[in-house]
Amino acid sequence: MTDTVKIFDTTLRDGEQSPGCSMNLEEKLRVAAQLESLGVDIIEAGFAIASEGDFEAVSQVAKQCESATVASLARAATADIERAWAAVKHAKFPRIHTFIATSPLHMRVKLNKTPEEVLAAIEHSVSLAASLCPDVEWSAEDATRSDPDFLCRAVEVAIKSGARTINLPDTVGYATPETYGAMFRDVLNRVPNADQAIFSTHCHNDLGLAVANTLAAVMAGARQVESTINGIGERAGNAAIEEIVMALKVRHDVMPFRTNAVTTEITRASRLISGITGFQVQPNKAIVGANAFAHESGIHQDGMIKDASTYEIMTPESVGLNASNLVMGKHSGRAAFRQKLEELGFRLGDNEFQDAFVRFKALADAKKAVYDEDIIALVDDEVLRGHDVIQVKEVEVYCGSNGPQRAILTLEVDGKETTVTSKGNGPVDALFNAIRMIVPHDQSVLERYEVHAVTGGTDAQAEVSVLLSEDGRTVRGRGAHYDTMVASARAYVNALNKLMVKRGKSNLNEASAG
């Protein structure tokens, strides 16, 4: 058995499926490019049948990727599988990933099928997928709550029908490392044709065990791990790629496996995802949290000065974290800015570059020091709203202890500018009321409003994140600016644009896959 563990990234599918994490086409293409730089082996680009937008995203990612396999998810249904193939067939290395639930609860309540009917569906769906695509993965949804005998039968049928990767997900995050590892050992030992497939893990983090379970399955024989950047995903999320990859690297002594991941790309990938989704990583998050390499106590600092290995089991550089250095300022020109963007992993078109440069100059004039984090926030903000139908043009806010606070706002909607004045209980309320006056959306609820300073200092850029919900759909918008009110307007309007895209998406509740 090989010692290489393949990395299957599902940030664009399972990650994107979580509330507030939806991404537009441009964002997905940027994420896919970064995932290739990170060296992931397989990118699950979406669920092609879920909507026109998902189909387009999977197709475009398939066309763009040069080294990674590109997969689309599909239920065990002819239309799903044909749609998945239509989207991934553009890829150099296409994969159809089809699934059906195998636990008694899911088969009875969700599918309303007998176990025999589920076996027939596996045979039909996998055979169809294999007749279209040379690379087929099959998943037993809710594998960890399935009857072990039935699970073995299902896996055997899937392999016989042409699946070459078998994924056994812990869909509800119920497993423990012992039980999850034991399930893999059991299936690998008992299924007669198990040697014809690679076994894969897919763990959700409901009990905080997703990474531990993943590693236990690798120890038991799995050679593909499904995971997401920053662990984003349904409910408590999926297993985090960066944690799995670094655990395998740092503890190679007890887990003698390798991956193709380029670990120095981890920080960039993490920042890209938190920038796009607005999901900030908790400061004490392993590997990519702001404090992951910070040493506060005197004893630790003393040890670090003498020898970093006293308190660091891996170097910050090994995950692509270089100390934030001041390199850009108001005298930096286009060439330096372009070089900086390349260093930070941005590939901008001419118009985007021009817009970003104008904003960089304005920022450099307003702020004493421009750090890498500032440039990342600024460019993310600029690129994110390129195709937004609603754009923020001007913001003026009057605030202070003598209310009522007022906002004068100009938005461009479909190319037409409108200006309104509104009042509110505080400047943010006044501003958001103004947005509501121009673009009425009474059914939407503002679930959350968060402000985060990109760097230290009172002149730091504000990064604002807004969560809007409507009819069970949740979207997250973000905006960055050195004026917190401008950042707030941009974040709210970004969310509104995403909501409009979501309204256009077909509702696939019954298709939702954890």
List contacts with ligand KIV (CB under 6 A). Answer: 14, 99, 139, 141, 167, 169, 171, 202, 204, 513-514
Q: What is the identity of the amino acid at 485?
A: M
Query: Judged by CB, which is closer to Zn ion: 141, or 382?
Result: 141
Asked if residue 273 lies in contact with residue 242, where contact means CB atoms within 8 angstroms, the answer is no
Nearest approach in angstroms of CB 153 to ligand KIV is 19
Among Zn ion, ligand KIV, none, partner that 439 touches (CB below 5 to 8 angstroms by kind): none
CB atoms within 10 A of CB 208: 10
- What is the separation of C-alpha 362 from the centre of its chain, rounded to a whole number of angstroms? 30
Residue 373 CB, nearest approach to Zn ion (Å): 31
Shortest spacing between CB 38 and ligand KIV, in angstroms: 21
Contact 216, 255 (CB under 8 A): no
- Rounded Cα distance between 372 and 341, Å, is 9
Which of Zn ion, ligand KIV, none lies near 492, with the C-beta cut-off 5 to 8 A by kind?
none
Q: CB of residue 187 vs ligand KIV: minimum separation in angstroms? A: 16
**SS3 of 154-166:** HHHHHHHCCCCEE
CA atoms within 13 A on the CB side of 315: 8
Q: Which is nearer to ligand KIV, 74 or 119 (CB)?
A: 74
Q: Which of the listed partners (Zn ion, ligand KIV, none) does 139 bind, with a CB threshold of 5 to 8 Å by partner kind?
A: ligand KIV
Give min distance, CB of 250 to ligand KIV, in A: 27
Nearer to ligand KIV, 64 or 171 (CB): 171
Q: How far apart are CA 79 and CA 500, in angstroms?
A: 26
Instruction: Say if CB 197 and CB 163 are below 8 A apart.
Output: yes
Tell me the HSE value of 250 on the side-chain side, using a 13 A CA sphere: 17
**Residue 141 binding result from Zn ion, ligand KIV, none, given CB thresholds of 5 to 8 Å by partner type:** ligand KIV
22 binds, among ligand KIV, Zn ion, none (CB under 5 to 8 A by kind): none
- What is the C-alpha separation between 8 and 23, in angstroms, rounded? 19
CB of 73 to ligand KIV, least distance (A): 6
Question: What does 99 interact with, of ligand KIV, Zn ion, none (CB < 5 to 8 A by kind)?
Answer: ligand KIV
Choose between 201 and 488: whose C-beta lies nearer to Zn ion.
201
Task: Give, for 437, the enclosing helix (H) or strand (E).
Answer: helix 427-438
Q: How far is the CB of 233 from ligand KIV (least distance, A)?
A: 8
Binding residues vs Zn ion (CB under 5 A): 14, 514
- Of 35 and 495, CB closest to ligand KIV: 35
Closest separation between CB of residue 348 and Zn ion, Å? 33
> Of the two residues 17 and 461, which places its CB atom closer to ligand KIV in the complex?
17
CA-based torsion, 172, 173, 176, 179: positive or negative: positive
Q: Token digits for 348?
A: 């901008």
Cα 119–chain centre separation: 32
Polymer length of the chain = 514
Rounded Cα distance between 431 and 399, Å, is 11
Strand partners, 413: 390, 416
Whole-number minimum distance, CB 513 to ligand KIV, in Å?
4
Which residue, 101 or 468, has its beta carbon nearer to ligand KIV? 101
Which of 26, 14, 85 has the alpha carbon at shortest distance from 501?
A: 26
Question: Residue 99 or residue 337: which is nearer to ligand KIV going by CB?
Answer: 99
Please, which residue, 204 or 406, has the CB nearer to ligand KIV?
A: 204
415: left (phi over 0), alpha (psi -120 to 50) or beta: left
Q: Residue 454: which region, alpha, beta or left (left: phi > 0; alpha: psi -120 to 50)?
A: alpha
* Residues in contact with 33: Cβ distance below 8 Å, sequence separation at least 6, in sequence order: 64, 347
- Residue 14 CB, shortest distance to ligand KIV, in Å, is 5
Residue placing its CB nearer to Zn ion in the complex, 21 or 383: 21
